[in-house]
Structures are given as C-alpha cells and as structure tokens.
Structure 1
Amino acid sequence: MQKLILVFLVLVGSQVLGQGLSTKNKKAIELYTEADNYRVRGQFTQAINLLNEAITRDKNFEEAYYRLATIYKAQEKFEWAQQTLEKGYELAKPDPRKRMYLYELAAVNLWQGKYEPCKKYATEFLLIEKDDYKKVALAKVWQTQADYALANTMAYDYVITPLSDSVNVFPMQYFPTVTADGMQLIFTARYGGNRNDNEDLVVSTKRPNGEWGEPVSLSANINTVQREGASTISADGRHLIFTVCGASGCDLYESRKTGNNWSKPKNMGPNINSARWDAQPSLSADGRELYFVSERAGGLGGYDIWYSQLTDKGWSKAINAGPAINTPHDEISPYVHVNNRELYFVSNGLPGYGGYDIYKIQKAEAAWGKPINMGKPLNDHHDQYSFIVSALGDQGYYSREESKNRSRLYRIVLPQQLVTSFSGNVVSGTVTDATSQQPIRAQIELYNLVEKKSVSKVFSDSVTGQYLIVLPGGAEYALYVDKPGFLFNSEYFNYKEGNQHAVTKNITLEPVHENAAIILNNIFFDTDKYELRPESMLELEKVVTFLANNPSIIIEIAGHTDNSGTETYNLKLSENRAKSVASFLVSKNIKQAQIQIRGYGSKKPRVANTTDYNRQQNRRIEFRIIAITSK
C-alpha cells in the first residue's frame, strides 16, 4: 500500500521536473513528451522505449532519467529504478532537484533491503528538506527502519512453507482466517491481477491426512458481483464478518451459519461503518470484541486499527485502539488471538525492515504493552500482510506478495521464543436431547471460576447440535449448557497448567421431569470438609435461578463420596455436604419445602473406585427432581 501511494506521489511530482527541461535537443523533448502521454495511460512499455530513445539523443537529459525511474518504480523494478535515479542524480542541478533524487533513492534502496544507502540518502534528504512534512515524516520512518534493520540482523528459526498448489490456485490469495479447531481455512481470492478484479471468499477444509482441500466458494449468499474481501470467522465457524467493497467504498457485513447454510449478509451499521473505508475485521474468540481497519476521521494516521465491543444493545460505537498500536502512518491487518490477550497487526510506521512488517502486542491489566517486531525472515524489506496464529500459538498463516499481482498463502511454524504463553484450548461436541437424541439449540456459557465472570457465550447449532468454544489457558473454568425446559448441564475444566489437547465433549440435556438428575461438577469442598469453597458460588447461583424459575419443582440434594474411610464416616460427610448446599439455597430465598437432602456415602459410585481419577468422579453433589407439584 505504501508503495502504491508513493508511486502516485512520484508520478504527480515528476511533472514538476518537466518544466524548464535540461535538454535543448528538440527530438529528445518530442520523445519525452510522447512518452509522458503513454505513461499517464499506464502504457509503460511504450513509454520506456521512448524515454530510452530520448536519452540516446541526449545522454545528459536528466528529467528523462527521473521519469524513466518513476516507471520502473511503478513496475516494482526497484534495482532498475535505483540505477536510473543514480544516473539522473549525477546530472541534476542543485536543490530542489537533488533533494527529489535523495528522497526517491532512499525509498528504492529500502525496498531492496539495502539499508546502508537508504540511511545515507534519507539522512541527506532530511538535512535539506524542511517544508514538505509528509515526505519528511516518511523519510524519518525509512531512516528509523534502516537503523533497526542494521541493528537487528539475527534471523529467528521460522519454518515457512507455501500451501500446496491445490490451495494457491488463484492469481492472488490473501487475508486468511481459520476456525479455532484449525479445520477450515477461509481466505480472499482475487480472480485477476488487477486491483479492481473481482474478489470472493473461499473455504478450504482440512482432509484426514492433514492436507488442505481445494478451495470452494463459501456461499452464493455471500459472494456477489461486488468484491468480498478480508474476513474473520468466529471460533466455532458459524459467525462471519467480512468486507464488501463497491463503487462508494468498503463496509463490514455479517452472516450467520445454520447447518450448512449462510444467512443473507447484513450491514453492521453506523457504529461500525463510517462514510470512509472500513475493512479487515478480526473477531475475538469470545465474540465480544471486533477489531478492524478504518481511515475515518479521528484517527492517529492514515489507516488506523479501531475496535467495538458487543453489548446487550449491539455493537458499541467504534473506538480508536490508541497510540500503543496506531502511529501517524498506517496500521492494518489486525488479528486478535483466541487468548484475547495478544493482537497481531501490520504497520509501516514502527521500527522494522521496510514497508509493512508484522508485530505482536500483549495486553496486561486492560492496557496494551509495547509492539514487538516478529523478526526475520517473516519480516523483510517486502510488504507482509494478514498474519494469523493458531489457537495453540505454535503456527500460523499469512500471505506473501511474491511478484507484482501475484501472491500465495504460506504456513509458518513459529520459533519457541515467539510461541504465546497464553494458548487457547478448544472444547467442541454436540448438544442433544437426552430423550429424543435429537440435536438442540442451547446456550453454552463459560465462566472463570476464580474471577466469577463470564468469559464466552455461544449457542449450539439448531440443525446439527454442534458447538465449539475456546478456553484460554491459565485458569479453571465452569461450562454451563442451558435450554428452557431442560436441566442445565455443568462441566469443569482445569487449564491452569497451560497447553492442553483439544477436548470433545458431547452433552445431553435432560428434559425437566421427575427423576431427572444432574451432577453439579463445580461445587467444591476441601478434603474431609463440608464447608463450601468460594469457587462453588457460580454453580450454586445456577441452582438458585433454576429453582426460582421453577417453584413447582421439588429436588433432592444428594452427597456422595468415594470408598475411602468408614461407611459411617462417609455417610455423615456426604450428608453434611448436602446440608451445606441446601443451607445456601435457603439463604437465597429458596423455600425449604423445595429441597430435601440425603447423604449416600459411597453406596452409589458412578465408576469403580480403582484409581484416583475414578475416586474423584465418585466424590460429587447431585440434584434430582423428586416431584413436580401443580401450581
């Protein structure tokens, strides 16, 4: 993007040098003028031939060298542009012409990774240019990038490989996004090499052998005659937010998937979209924060990263991500990791290796830290875009522009020192009716047991019953599955120790009826104690809500132990634990008449008491519906 903007500036600026030409050769001037007519129409081959002929007529025709260099630069033939600029610089008269050459020589050297000459030319330019603040600002960035690149030559041990030709089937493919389970890769496909060629969203599904399948159109509801671009997919793969570009600009749209069908997209409205360019979304794994790129008023630079939070009333008015992330230049391609603590993004305004580099920034105590350059060879003097990282944080995907109008998708294995310490863990499965065995749509909500707050909320698919939720590493969680007319389901997960393997958990919900029972997996007691631990409060409040909403239901709170200890001791301990639960419920205005208690000791084990794990399963609190009275 930076290069395209600068090409435009150079093409406009070069016309100034066409006034008062240095040559007196009429034929050379005629060829120069004719070449300019071809140049402005984008017919570069004809323009190059005519300019070379003009130089043959007068080898000291300085403006012809400059004009020729701008064309090479537009074609991204930076070495040819550099050589041509050097010849013109030798012929150029003192300021202001020489400063134009210094500026352009700094740029084309940076884009070739020639940092020493870039620094030299940028420094010389800054010594004499004081008025053109835009060029001064860019030259300072180039100078900083050259200094950074010269001081940071060590390469990380990345393993970078292109995806197979069965995936990279389009002239250009970019902006990948992946579901949290790593099974679906969605990306933007451009069907031609020109910027205005049609773009669609396509999806590749991982095969049993681990290879990606051939991409297919995501949906006829999503891909239209307009250009559908950069997208983000929810962790469970059923909520898509994507970019739609038309003649008047780009906006963000959303679509939801039920079964195998995507809904008709809806514009996300004025809290997200502006009258300017809005694109490149990234949705957090909990679905509550949306990051995207906008050039709206109120930013810190050209393109800035903004974010919006999901409230009970919908998406909040977008807020600028602030100076920890945004610079006076351009920040694009945000990707918020599933741990919701790390943001990856691309910038051309931070210290780096030239052009757009990929950075990572971590959040602590609700504030962003300092951006970290992801280093070589991921970053180099070329532009990098659209980097995403897997849930475990050990690998990712990004697109690389290999030549003009040609890009491919790459898989990258991260070096250990750059692997996130806050990985995400995927729990997935189905939710079904225990009686009919049919899939049902239920709410699945995740709570941090220590912080006692909701972390994420999703719904199972009404057609397939499938769900997927991400549990950030480093905490203990309660997972609740709810649907009106059913007993809620309670699960416990301990991810305090960091990385875990993905878990499949198929859940059946019991319709409300007599003898329906559930295990309260998130009620905790210390060994040989019956006082409720603080992290039990979430589960107990769920029981309170259930009984308050169902006053006609009478339940039995049952305590169970393993076979350690005597039978008499176990009976007493289990009864006391049941009493503790009942006492809490009564303290929350649940009528005593709705509750009965019983301690079963070790008489009703779920599994044989043969291992520590099995004994843990047998130490539990259950509640069972023993009667449903008439209202």
Structure 2
Amino acid sequence: MRNLILLFVFIPFILFSQTKRDLKKYNKIVDLIEKNELETALSETYKLLEANKEWNKPNLLLSNIYFSKGNFEKGEKYFLKYYSLQSKKNTSAIFQLSQIFYSNGMYNKALKYLLISKDLSETEDKYKRMINNCRFAIYAMENPVEFEYENMGENINTEYSEYLPFISVDGEKFIFTRLLPNFNGELQEDFYFSIQTDSNWILANEMEINTQGNEGSVCISPNGNYLIYTACNRIDSRGRCDLYICVKQKDGSWSEAENLSSINTRYWESQACFSADMKYLYFVSDRRGGYGGDDIWRSEITKFGFSEPKNLGPKINTVYNEMSPFLHPDNLTFYFASEGHTSMGDFDLFISKRSHSDTTWNTPENMGYPINTYKTENSLAVSSDGKTAYFVSDREGFGKEDIFSFELPKNTRAEELSDLELEIISKESGDEIILNNVLFDTDSYMLLGHSFIELNLLLSYLKNNPSVKIHIEGHTDNVGEKDHNLILSENRAKEVFYYLKDRGISSERLSFKGYGESNPIESNNTELGRSKNRRTSFSIVE
C-alpha cells in the first residue's frame, strides 16, 4: 500500500476549549501515526475521544489510522463524521480524500469525491486530470487486456530494488540496475548482468564498469560496440547526472567511460536508448526548453558525433514527467513511461507507433490494465521478436521494486524482425552479412526457388530503409579453375542485383562484385569449410 497523506496536514487545526493536557495527548498520537505504531495510536485516540466527546478533531485521527491500516471503509466513515461536524466546509479536504482512494486504485470512490470537490480553482488542472484518469481507469478495469506476468526470480531480483532493464538484440544478455548498500551502508546503484542458458537466466553478476560511485540505466548499441550509462556527481560531470560512453575493445572489455559532453548539460541527463539503425540516441533530461519536468529528447548520431538534442515534442512529452524511453529494433514502435498522459497511477506504460514513411510519432496509447495499475509501472524493455516485455513494478515480489516479464498483447507488439533484419541491426557498416538461404544449382547462377524467401526479406528491408545502400558479393570455394570461379561468383552477385533492381530498388543503391575463391571464411580443406565459402553476401555501404 502507498504511504498515505495525513489529512490533518491539509485541514486548519481549529481548537476551542481543549486543555494543554489534551493537546499533548493529541500530538503524541500524531507522532505514533508517523512512526506507524497504529494499534497504540488507535487505542489512545479512542480514549481521547471518550474523554472529549464534543471535540471533533480525534475523528480525523481515527480516519487517518484506519486509512493507514488499509481499512478504507472505517477511514471514510470517520472522515465523513469529522467533515459533517465542521461548521465551515472545506472542499479541499474532500479533494484530499479522493486522492487517497485514487492512489489506492479505488477509482469509483475517488470519482465520487472528486465530483463533490469541484470548487477548486487553484487545483483546477489537477482536478480535471484526476477526473479523466478515474474515468479511464474504471473503463480499463472493465476491459482488461490479456496479461500474465511472472517475476524474473531470485537470479535477477533480490531484497533490494532492481530496475531499468535492458535486453540485447540477440536476446542472450540481460542488464539492469540494482540499488544496494555499499561498504559504508549507503545506498548505491550498480549494474548487474545475466546470460540466458537453456531458456533460463543465470545468477546475475556485477559488471566490470561499476565503480565506487553510482551507475544506472545502461544501454548497448545494436552492433554491440558502444555502451552508454548514467553516472552522477563525478569530477568531470557537467550536471547532477550525465551520460557516459564506453567502447568495446578487441579483447571484449569496455574502455574507460568518457563524458558525452556534446549532450550533457548542467541539468540532469539519463536513461539513454539507441535506435536500431544507429542514427539516433534517445534520452531523458530536465533541461530547459522542455514541456514539463523530465522530458524525452533525441540526438542525431553523425560521423562527427552527437548533434544538438531535440525535444520529441508535445505528442510524447507533457507538463508532468516522462521517462524510460525504449525504441524497439523495428524502429517503428516506441515505449515509454509517463505520469502526464491519461493513466491509472503515478507512472503508466505507453506505446506510440509510426509508419516507415513517417518521422512523427502517433498519439501514445496507455498499454491498459492490468499491465498498468494504481501502482508505479516503468522501465519497459521488449525482446526483438516483439513478444516478451520486461518491466519494473512495486507490486509484490522479492524487494521494493522487482523486474517482471510478460507476453505482450498483440495490439501492443512491435513488428517481429526476421533473422536477416536482426543480423543487419547487429552489424557495423561494411561488415559482411551472409544470405544463408540464397542458393544456386551447381556451377550455375540461376536462383533456386527457396532463395526468394530470403531475397524478399532483403527487398522488404531496403524498401523500409530508403537511405540504405548495399554492396552484393559473390564467393566460391577453390574447386575448379580460378578464372571460372571468378566469373561464376560475379554472375551470381549480378543475379541478386537484378532481382532487387527489377522489384523497385534503385540501381544507385546497389553495387555488386564477384570475388571467386579469394575471400574464404573457412578452410577449403574440408567439405564443411568449402560449403561455407560458397556464399552470397552483402554489406551496408555508408
């Protein structure tokens, strides 16, 4: 249950003829409530009320005690008794009552008291927002989406808080942030990672990049060569928290982190996310020029580095806070958390989509109940196949915040990516990508029928990414005459070139060459090696 706001903080403390002794008892009960010693507070309040039957204020104490105990029926009863005996009615008190019901998912009750407390000019925007949220929540609970979540278990979650999950494009590595005590007993954020084996995640271990300071919110580029994370209060920091970048070394380790000074400001930057095509970096910041508190921004990645960030605009960002951006590898589906869009609680999870030809995002949609609840839901990550999602919630688990997984409802899924698309995403520009299922008859450059499945996937990718250029390569093993193999490989590459060109891909985006037996990827001394060397491949051209 959420921490409840003590209503007497918001209601004028008007006392009449109470003795100093009674006031002392009253203040003692307030202290007991704040210390969560509720049974003692309850007993003392009834004694105080019995001794002062004309004094209304103890009814408010009883209301708060029962609300804190989770007894909403009695909490409401004693609050209304207190309110009915007040000579001067204060509708802001009723508004506070509605907030208690709202923050505990009792939306019908919350709506009832919101409609009573409508004379609130100073909180009009908040009032209207809560009305809309209650009505949406009631509808969402009456029309739930398919949802069965599962705690990721003790190999991931602990008695501490785990949050901000990240899953690699190949689905084999899972990274998250854990908040736990350091050697001084102070809470500190560090990265932990787990590897998937036999469909299970092994016990999470610390990452090598952890320091004695705080690190949180990690992301790795689709090609696996760059890692960006958030660190706070470092010597070279420009603001409270900054983004830092590491580069993968030849031995597989990460370089020393460098401050992303072209993005960071004197404000707060965190929660970065790469686009699948490596053209943009999305992140969260409370810098000036936004629409609310924390906004989602985007920086273009060029050969010169990271460009001046631009706000994603009012369709995504609100006057409240947005966080945890996650752009799916399909580059068309955007997930994030917001407390400003119509929701059921503090932060809800949202999805926004766009078409291949559009650069703007559609109006975000709440992912629905029971994915979202009156509790806090944030930090969503989605697998490359678009089916499995990982999110963070303070619902019951091992610790304060746990990471859960669930199968996404079909209407909130990203486009499923083919193996070819996943390989393209994970490669650097210029890397060879083998078309494993593009096959030819022996000593022929005529395409076999089942080659068209793979070629159509490549065709679809090129149509959906009109700025991409590719170089097509033909290769053979060393069996036969070298000159003959060179001509054969050239003709096979040319055949793929014309297949794509004849189906609408501009020849300006395509080039081809035959390499014969000159570029083997395996030894030609075995049949297995020779079969791998007989290949058609392509690479992305800058």
Structures share a fold, TM > 0.5? Answer: yes
Tell me, in whole angstroms, the C-alpha distance in 2 between the residues paired with 1:234 and 1:356.
27
Counterpart secondary structure, 1:367: coil
Partner deviation per Cα, 1:376-398 (whole Å, 9 max, x = no partner): 22112211111111111111111
Q: CA deviation at 1:412?
A: 1.0
Q: CA deviation at 1:399?
A: 1.4
User: Greater shift after overlay, 210-219 or 289-298?
Assistant: 289-298
1:409 aligns with 2:409: no
1:191 matched to which residue of 2?
180
1:267 aligns with 2:259: yes
Q: Is the 8 A contact 1:429 1:507 kept in 2?
A: no
Structure 2: which amino acid aligns with 1:159? E
Which structure shows the higher strand fraction?
Answer: 1
Compared CA separation, residues 142 and 15, structure 1 to 2 (3 A): closer
Counterpart secondary structure, 1:128: coil
User: Greater shift after overlay, 318-327 or 351-360?
Assistant: 351-360
Q: CA deviation at 1:63?
A: 5.1
Partner deviation per Cα, 1:251-284 (whole Å, 9 max, x = no partner): 2212122233111112211x42232222222221
Compared CA separation, residues 38 and 94, structure 1 to 2 (3 A): closer
Alignment of 1:306-321 (within 5 A): 306-321=297-312
Tell me, in whole angstroms, the C-alpha distance in 2 between the residues paired with 1:48 and 1:525.
79
Structure 2: which amino acid aligns with 1:423? L
Partner deviation per Cα, 1:591-629 (whole Å, 9 max, x = no partner): xxxxxxxxxxxxxxxx9xxxxxx9xx99999xxxxxxxx
1:536 aligns with 2:532: no
1:377 matched to which residue of 2?
370
1:53 aligns with 2:24: no
Compared CA separation, residues 268 and 151, structure 1 to 2 (3 A): same
Tell me, in whole angstroms, the C-alpha distance in 2 between the residues paired with 1:234 and 1:387.
17
Pick from 388, 391, 398: which aligns with 2:391?
A: 398
Q: CA deviation at 1:304?
A: 1.6
Q: Which runs of 5+ in 1 are unaligned?
A: 432-440, 447-470, 480-487, 493-505, 509-513, 544-556, 560-606, 608-613, 622-631
Partner deviation per Cα, 1:331-368 (whole Å, 9 max, x = no partner): 11111111111110111222232332111001231111
Pick from 92, 97, 105: which aligns with 2:97?
A: 105
Alignment of 1:601-616 (within 5 A): none
Pick from 196, 201, 210: which aligns with 1:223?
A: 210
2:244 matched to which residue of 1?
253
2:21 matched to which residue of 1?
27
Q: Is the 8 A contact 1:60 1:91 kept in 2?
A: no
Q: Is the 8 A contact 2:432 2:537 kept in 1?
A: no
1:452 matched to which residue of 2?
none
2:348 matched to which residue of 1?
357
Compared CA separation, residues 383 and 66, structure 1 to 2 (3 A): farther
Q: Is the 8 A contact 2:229 2:272 kept in 1?
A: yes
2:295 matched to which residue of 1?
304
* Higher RCO (C-alpha under 8 Å, 6+ residues apart): 2
* Amino-acid identity (%): 23
Q: CA deviation at 1:33?
A: 3.2
1:419 matched to which residue of 2?
413
Q: Is the 8 A contact 1:345 1:359 kept in 2?
A: yes
Q: Is the 8 A contact 2:94 2:116 kept in 1?
A: yes
Tell me, in whole angstroms, the C-alpha distance in 2 between the residues paired with 1:288 and 1:310.
5
Q: CA deviation at 1:54?
A: 4.5
Pick from 468, 493, 496: which aligns with 1:521?
A: 493
Partner deviation per Cα, 1:478-522 (whole Å, 9 max, x = no partner): 99xxxxxxxx97469xxxxxxxxxxxxx999xxxxx999675737
Compared CA separation, residues 23 and 310, structure 1 to 2 (3 A): farther
1:475 matched to which residue of 2?
461
Q: CA deviation at 1:100?
A: 3.1
Counterpart secondary structure, 2:326: strand
Structure 2: which amino acid aligns with 1:203? F
Q: CA deviation at 1:409?
A: 1.4
Q: Is the 8 A contact 2:41 2:65 kept in 1?
A: no
Structure 2: which amino acid aligns with 1:427? E
Q: CA deviation at 1:472?
A: 9.7
Q: Is the 8 A contact 2:381 2:391 kept in 1?
A: yes
Using structure 1 for the length normalisation, give the TM-score.
Answer: 0.64
Counterpart secondary structure, 1:161: strand
Alignment of 1:555-594 (within 5 A): none
Structure 1: which amino acid aligns with 2:97? L
Compared CA separation, residues 33 and 372, structure 1 to 2 (3 A): same
Q: Is the 8 A contact 1:327 1:350 kept in 2?
A: yes
Structure 1: which amino acid aligns with 2:422? V
Counterpart secondary structure, 1:45: coil
Tell me, in whole angstroms, the C-alpha distance in 2 between the residues paired with 1:473 and 1:61.
80
Alignment of 1:230-245 (within 5 A): 230-245=217-232
Counterpart secondary structure, 1:252: strand
Q: CA deviation at 1:321?
A: 1.0
Q: Which runs of 5+ in 2 are unaligned?
A: 434-456, 478-482, 517-526
Pick from 43, 67, 79: which aligns with 2:70?
A: 79
Partner deviation per Cα, 1:133-164 (whole Å, 9 max, x = no partner): xx432332221111112223222222321112
Structure 2: which amino acid aligns with 1:268? L
Q: Is the 8 A contact 2:103 2:374 kept in 1?
A: yes
Q: Is the 8 A contact 2:219 2:274 kept in 1?
A: yes
Tell me, in whole angstroms, the C-alpha distance in 2 between the residues paired with 1:286 and 1:342.
13
Counterpart secondary structure, 2:70: helix
Partner deviation per Cα, 1:81-121 (whole Å, 9 max, x = no partner): 77436523431366986323222222221222211111111
Pick from 181, 196, 201: which aligns with 2:170?
A: 181
Backbone CA RMSD of aligned residues:
4.4
Compared CA separation, residues 274 and 618, structure 1 to 2 (3 A): closer
Tell me, in whole angstroms, the C-alpha distance in 1 between the residues paired with 2:87 and 2:181.
43
Compared CA separation, residues 178 and 290, structure 1 to 2 (3 A): same
Compared CA separation, residues 359 and 21, structure 1 to 2 (3 A): same
Q: Is the 8 A contact 2:32 2:41 kept in 1?
A: no
Pick from 195, 210, 218: which aligns with 1:205?
A: 195
- Equivalenced residue count is 471
Q: Is the 8 A contact 2:389 2:407 kept in 1?
A: yes
Structure 1: which amino acid aligns with 2:509? L
Counterpart secondary structure, 1:28: helix
Counterpart secondary structure, 1:105: helix
1:167 aligns with 2:156: yes
Compared CA separation, residues 366 and 445, structure 1 to 2 (3 A): farther
Tell me, in whole angstroms, the C-alpha distance in 1 between the residues paired with 2:501 and 2:422.
33
1:114 matched to which residue of 2?
106
